[in-house]
């Protein structure tokens, strides 16, 4: 039986490799603001990024002091995102803009671009919703 098993959210590379792939894709998305990838990876990245940013925004309601919320959000971002410039961009730019828009979900959108010419795989553009 396949209770609570969504095969669409699986990337068949092993658990540790899947986490590295998702962290790399999320870091690239944060660095450039957009990313071109395959549909399956885009679907998984969208779910991963939405849970990442919603968890960051929930820290402000979870902790009574703003300094505690900031400390925990920095700790969590450093554990997921590669690179100092990228995690500083998340803390200083992305989270305040999402908070100003009163956004609690749907941080990333996907757009179909067509097909890659050499192997005819569909391309998807992943961007932040601004």
Domain boundaries, the chain: 14-128
CATH of 14-128, one of 3.10.180.10, 3.60.70.12, 3.30.465.10, 3.90.1030.10: 3.90.1030.10
Q: Which of 46, 35, 26, 17 is nearest to 87 (CA)?
A: 26
C-alpha span between 33 and 108 (Å, rounded): 10
Q: Which of 97, 10, 109 is nearest to 56 (CA)?
A: 97
pLDDT tens string 41-94: 999 999 999 999 999 999 988 888 888 989 999 999 999 999 999 999 999 999
Edge-first strand order for the sheet with 34-37 is 34-37, 122-128, 108-115
Provide the whole-model pTM: 0.85
Radius of gyration of the chain measured on its C-alpha atoms: 16
The residue count of the chain comes to 130
pLDDT tens string 4-50: 666 656 676 666 788 899 999 999 999 999 999 999 999 999 999 99
């Amino acid at each position: 039986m396949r209770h609570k098993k969504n095969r669409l959210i699986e990337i068949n590379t092993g658990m540790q490799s899947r986490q590295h792939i998702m962290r790399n894709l999320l870091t690239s998305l944060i660095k450039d603001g957009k990313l071109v990838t395959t549909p399956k990876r885009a679907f998984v990245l969208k779910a991963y990024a939405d849970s990442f940013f919603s968890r960051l925004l929930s820290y402000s309601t979870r902790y009574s002091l703003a300094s505690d919320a900031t400390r925990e959000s920095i700790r969590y971002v450093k554990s997921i995102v590669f690179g100092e410039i990228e995690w500083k961009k998340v803390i200083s730019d992305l989270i305040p803009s999402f908070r100003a828009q009163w956004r609690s979900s749907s941080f990333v959108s996907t757009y179909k671009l067509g097909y890659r010419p050499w192997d005819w795989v569909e391309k998807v553009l992943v961007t932040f919703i601004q």
